[in-house]
């Protein structure tokens, strides 16, 4: 069973608060090969998170425009940052096992590589350690219509590292070189790599690895500025992103400790990176890309209201339910009758849906006053309907409380006005 991504295990250690840099902004666009990414922001691949429902949700959550009375003289943020779809320029799949992908039957493979037209540009991320298998899986992704193939050299999970995948490969640069050449020779679409600084502080290889990637014909590199040994602890060391940027001429994407638009702008200012990758903050703040686009265009950005959160969480749940219904309908169409195995699969889909609803609602209510009580109700819920009831009740109650508070303020103001009139 796939281990779910948990914010609780990947919180920031004493995060640095960056002021808004004067004049520094995330670039309006950059290119990976011939693929234009606009704006220069990337949704990081996250196991158990960045499935097609979440990716499309981010695309929709990122939409932002300024009305005619806004700060831009009627011009939209999309126009100012050459962004035609949303505040997120590039989205990536969950990291996918090359070994598993190459062995899957085609029907299962299609379901696993599902994406929709509105997700372009989209990158498929692979992990593994066998050059031939990775090359074969990269061809499968290219044939499936993905715009970019990315190699994962960053995952610190023990089960991935034990198979010499993810950041485990950072201990074997010659093998990485073989993989680079095999995949590059197998596909014509852009090929990129995401990696960490090295295995530990005594084994920093990021600059050497980036140079090797460029020499092997890769089109961009992304650096999470921590070592495998760091995991998600301590501060990301952005100076290594700057070192990689100085060492290569292909685009460099910075990753690590970007929680706000100020952080994104500060990373660009301090490192000179071509783009910024956002990971663990995105599930808790799906508006982060929209906020960066707004800040890029106007120098300011809006924060979500309770009503925004309510609409977004309902929209996400609805998309999730629709996706599961579509999968079940497809499975039913393949079979002449609902078999016992098919029924078990459907029940598992429902359980997974409820689990993800709980997971997402927990993320989404962090920072909301009284959110702890809602999270408790959600975790105790046994069905999707119960989760939705808890969410509806929570936000309805907050809205009623807000209206009551406004009425009290207005009444107090009238009384005060009356006192002064006397």
What spatial distance separates the first Cα and last Cα of the chain, rounded to whole Å? 73
How far apart CA 176 and CA 380 sit, in angstroms, is 46
How far apart CA 20 and CA 150 sit, in angstroms, is 32
Which helix (H) or strand (E) is 190 found in, with range? none
Closest residue by Cα to residue 193 from 179, 175, 174: 179
> What DSSP line would sit under 301-360, residue for residue?
-----HHHHHHHHHHHHHHHHHHHHHHHHHHHHHSSS--HHHHHHHHHHHHHHHHHHHHH
Cα dihedral sign for 103, 104, 110, 114?
Answer: negative
Closest CA to 298 of 85, 70, 83, 89: 70
The answer for residues whose C-beta is within 8 angstroms of residue 235's C-beta and 6 or more apart is 13, 14, 16, 257
Q: Judge residue 407's burial from the number of C-beta atoms within 10 Å of its C-beta, 0-12 exposed, 13-18 middle, 19 or more buried.
A: exposed
Within 187-287, where are the H helices?
Answer: 206-215, 239-247, 261-271, 281-284
Catalytic residue among 88, 141, 155, 273: 155
Backbone angles phi, psi at 349, to 5 degrees: -60, -40
Residue 149, token pair as written in the block: 């193939």
The three-class DSSP label of residue 261 is: helix
Q: Residue 155 catalytic?
A: yes
| Among candidate residues 223, 136, 122, 226, the one with its CA nearest the CA of residue 179 | 136
Distance CA 249, CA 98 (A): 29
Catalytic positions are 155
């Amino acid at each position: 069973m796939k281990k779910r991504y948990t914010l609780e295990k990947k919180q920031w250690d004493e995060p640095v608060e960056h002021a808004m840099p004067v004049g520094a902004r995330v670039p309006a666009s950059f290119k990976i090969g011939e693929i234009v990414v606009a704006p220069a922001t990337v949704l990081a691949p996250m196991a158990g998170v960045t499935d097609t429902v979440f990716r499309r949700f981010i695309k929709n959550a990122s939409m932002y425009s300024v009305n005619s009375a806004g700060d831009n003289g009627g011009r939209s943020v999309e126009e100012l940052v050459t962004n035609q779809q949303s505040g997120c320029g590039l989205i990536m799949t969950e990291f996918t096992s090359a070994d598993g992908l190459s062995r899957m039957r085609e029907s299962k493979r299609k379901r696993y590589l599902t994406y929709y037209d509105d997700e372009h540009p989209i990158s498929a991320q692979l992990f593994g350690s066998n050059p031939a298998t990775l090359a074969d899986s990269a061809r499968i992704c290219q044939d499936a219509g993905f715009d970019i193939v990315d190699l994962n050299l960053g995952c610190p999970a023990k089960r991935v590292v034990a198979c010499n995948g993810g950041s485990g490969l950072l201990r074997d640069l010659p093998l990485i070189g073989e993989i680079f050449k095999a995949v590059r020779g197998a596909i014509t679409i852009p090929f990129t790599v995401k990696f960490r600084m090295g295995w530990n502080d005594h084994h920093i290889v990021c600059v050497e690895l980036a140079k090797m990637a460029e020499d092997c014909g890769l089109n961009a590199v992304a650096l999470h500025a921590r070592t495998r040994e760091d995991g998600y602890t301590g501060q990301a060391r952005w100076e290594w992103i700057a070192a990689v940027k100085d060492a290569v001429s292909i685009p460099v994407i910075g990753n690590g400790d970007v929680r706000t638009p100020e952080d994104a702008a500060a990373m660009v200012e301090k490192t000179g990176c071509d783009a910024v990758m956002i990971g663990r903050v995105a599930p808790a703040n799906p508006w982060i890309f929209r906020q960066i686009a707004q800040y890029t265009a106007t120098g300011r950005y809006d924060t979500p209201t309770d009503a925004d959160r309510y609409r977004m969480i309902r929209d996400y749940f609805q998309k999730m339910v629709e996706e599961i219904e579509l999968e079940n309908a497809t499975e039913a169409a393949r079979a002449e009758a609902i078999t016992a195995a098919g029924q078990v699969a459907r029940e598992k889909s429902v359980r997974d849906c409820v689990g993800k609803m709980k997971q997402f609602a927990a993320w989404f209510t962090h920072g909301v006053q009284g959110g702890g009580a809602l999270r408790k109700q959600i975790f105790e819920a046994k069905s999707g309907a119960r989760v939705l009831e808890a969410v509806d009740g929570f936000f309805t109650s907050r809205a009623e409380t807000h209206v009551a508070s406004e009425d009290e303020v207005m009444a107090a103001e009238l009384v005060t006005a009356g006192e002064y009139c006397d």
